[in-house]
Structure 1
Amino acid sequence: MKKTSKKTWFIAFVVSLGGFLFGFDAGIISGVMSYAGPEFDLNDIQSGWVVSSPSFAAMIAMLISGRLSDIVGRKKVLLMVAFLYALSAVLSAYALSYNMLWIARMIGGLAFGAALILAPTYIAEISSAENRGKLVSIQQLNIVLGFFAAFLCNYYLNELNTSSSSFLTDETVWRWMLGVELIPALLYFFMLFFVPKSPRWLFLKRKIEEAKSILRDLHGSLKAKSEIESIEKNITKESTKEKVRIWELIKPGLRFIFFVGLSLGILQQITGINAIYFYATSIFKQTGIGTNAAFASGVLLSLTTVVFTFVAIFLIDRMGRRPLLLTGIAGIALSMLLCGYGFNKATYQLTEEEVNSISALDPSKLSTIVGKTFESDIDFKRAMKEALGTQIYAKNEGAILEAATDMNATLVLVGILGFIACFAFSLGPVMWVMLSEMYPNKYRGLAIGVIGFVNSFSSWLIQQIFPWELSNLGNAMTFLIFGIIALIGFFILFKILPETKGKSLEELEAELIKK
């Protein structure tokens, strides 16, 4: 590998660390809420808002970050992103109230919304055509590695939080979980000083010689010459291009592929992926395996994501987009239905010995519950909250459910891991690949922007309502709904999803616009 190629790979890796921080932030909160929720005595809506508020802020950042980077430059905005990540980590760790916690997390949301838009843009602008796809894919890989690092961090910090520990307690362990993010955020900030400005942005700002110098440094003189010609030709073409309007996406020639893209964008989120990621520890607690095992299962979940993301990278150009997506969505539906079945078979009963074994519980308050069998998790949790109060129940939920739950926890674990595996090789990465391929060049940016916004809104909505669903609909019904949605999505996409593998963008434009 040539020196210039190594330099390009290094730059792509540094810039996509924003994706790592997104994954880390998203993964870490599943462990945090096991402690921060009870400490601030949060209700379902408040818990949902703490988890989902970064996604809400990210929607705003996605709308403005592209335009801001056109004005001040990609690199400056990425430096702001790294700073906001660091600021969010510090403020979150020192949060003194519910309001301070969600505001701190929204600051982080502004960062990852901008990062998810700008990192692929910047990487594409410093890459050559031959390695652009591989380099941009580093972003998705960094996201899943961030999830893995977060779940691993949560697991070890939870293991260190013992009754004999004076360093980590229930009141401080979640602050360390959030504060650890400061380390990769600072690393990201300082490493960004080693990446150049985007040569394409420099061309747009008429800083031609600086842009040419960077391209020569990255690709060598010969390759840089063809890249310079390509950029100059593209800028000339764009300067004469008519501005497109959002309503043009639903005109007859584009309506079909816009509907396909919108279906993919919505389905990717409403099948429950971010409910699983953001609430993984809470979900595993519901199976009765206990708090420690729930944290360990989170590590297994994130490792599964990493493995099957590599599977997607390996198969996407061999197997094709359509079969990969349809196979994955069918697997998602079956996995969610399996989880619903497992939870539906659960029963809940506390014996006197089990109550006495949990030191934080007052047996006198549970006299009407001890020995009684509950067929529904909703009824059991409602009775426990009425007897103990929501804060005491929330603090001890893992231990209570571990003692009371009688169910096949392995069945649910298989269902969750099956869902994660199927998502990681289908809807996760393949959706974005198809969105980049289906639309004519003139409309591509607008279409992906609109679908990305709807995708982010769907993500925020699922995160916000998931705690309410568990409390009011129950575990079984919640997962059954996700399974049914995936099943409906499978039949819709089986009917309408095109195959884009092995076709040039021009061929796809002629074929899909005609359709």
Structure 2
Amino acid sequence: FVLLLLVPETPSFLANNNQRPKAIEILKKVRYDITDSEILKNSTQDNTKKISKTKISDLFSPSVRSAFIIGITLNIFRQITGINIVTYYAPKIFLSSGIETPHFAMLLVASVTVINILATLISIWLIDKVGRRPLLITSTFGMMIFLLILSASFFINPTNLPIFVMISLMGFTSSFAIGLGSVSWLINSEIYPMHIRGKANGIATFVNWVSNYLVATSFLSLIHNFGQGSTFLFFACICFLALIFSIKKVPETKGKSFLEIQKFFKK
């Protein structure tokens, strides 16, 4: 809470609410290399549409609909590919693989968490170097492969099953963190017109957590009715759908201005 008191208002909001001098002041503080022409461009983007006049129905207008569908779908895939299954149920998964000591299982869970943090840091470094799409495609492909390995491990049940489970969960988590985990939020922040961005991101966040709830509450029932091998195979198939969606539908936003992104969606 205390730190949030230090966070400035967004320049775009200030500009769209007749506070352009303050918007320019904040832009100069957060971007030392910004030019006067860029300030003018940023402060006047989409100013013809007032934020206060937007309606939920505007999300389905021709100029916004495609971006909204992509943003919502990415957030759905972010959850239904199974990342929070690992977060919530990793101890149970490790114990079911044959690990007999709960303490050791928790150490493995901690290791998965560390891997997640490291992969997220790598993603931060890569996201503006290689672009959003390559990270997203690599991420969903890696998630699918590691879930297939996890599924096959439970079907085959080798003597060294715990090792396969550990490698699979670490690989799956790192694949998620390096792409889908971070890129989905970033793309949602970039693709919407300014006048509707707040509402669009709010709904996308709501859909994200509803999807999380549905997956988290259904996982144990899936395990009980279909077994672990089939359940993880199901999530691998969802990762495959996320991969196809990323290839076919998600645009590259790296290095593109707000207006360039909007032109893409208006085609």
Indicate whether the TM-score tops 0.5: yes
What is the CA-CA distance between 1:478 and the residue it aligns to?
1.2
2:248 is matched with which residue? 495
- The question of whether the paired residues in 1 share the 8 Å contact of 2:64 and 2:193 is answered with no
The CA RMSD measured in Å over matched residues stands at 3.2
How far the C-alpha of 1:245 sits from its partner, in A, is 1.8
Distance in 1, Cα, partners of 2:264 & 2:195: 16
The equivalent position to 1:324 in structure 2, one of 129, 135, 156, is 135
Deviation at residue 251 of structure 1 after TM alignment: 2.5
- Using the TM superposition, give the Cα deviation of residue 492 of structure 1 relative to its aligned residue in structure 2, in angstroms: 2.0
Distance 2:115 2:8 in 1: 28
Q: How far apart are 1:259 and its partner, in Å? A: 1.6
| Cα separation, 2, equivalents of 1:288 and 1:476 | 15
**In the alignment, is residue 345 of structure 1 matched against residue 156 of structure 2?**
yes
Map 1:185-196 → 2, pairs under 5 A:
none
Moved over 6 A (4+): none
Q: Structure 1 residue 477 and structure 2 residue 237: aligned?
A: no
Aligned-residue identity in percent: 32
Q: Deviations over 1:255-314 (max 9, x none)?
A: 222121121010000001111101111111111112222111011101101110110000
Larger radius of gyration: 1
Q: Secondary structure at the match of 2:53?
A: coil
Structure 1 residues without counterparts, runs of 5 or longer: 1-10, 16-73, 76-121, 130-199, 348-405
| RCO comparison, higher one (Cα < 8 Å, 6+) | 2
Residue number in structure 1 paired with 2:82: 272
Offset of 1:247 from its aligned partner?
A: 2.3
Contact 2:98-2:161 within 8 A present in 1 as well: no
- State TM-score, norm by structure 2: 0.82
Of 495-504 and 243-252, the range deviating more from structure 2:
243-252
How far apart, CA to CA, are the structure 2 residues paired with 1:310 and 1:325?
A: 15
Of residues 233, 244, 262, the one that matches 2:54 is 244
In structure 1, distance between residues paired with 2:50 and 2:177: 40
In the alignment, the residues of structure 2 paired with residue 243 and residue 331 of structure 1 have an alpha-carbon distance, to the nearest angstrom, of: 43
TM-score (norm. length: structure 1): 0.44
Change (3 A) 1:431 1:240: closer
- Is residue 418 of structure 1 aligned with residue 228 of structure 2? no
Q: Distance in 2 between matches of 1:453 and 1:477?
A: 29
Pairwise CA distance, 1:240: 4.7
Aligned equivalents of 2:170, 2:50: Cα separation in 1? 50
Number of the residue aligned with 1:370: none
| Equivalent pair of 2:116/2:174 in contact (CA under 8 Å) | yes
Whether contact under 8 Å (1:342, 1:407) holds in the other structure is: no
Name the SS of the counterpart of 2:254 in structure 1: coil
SS at match of 2:253: coil
Quote the residue 1:376 is aligned against: none
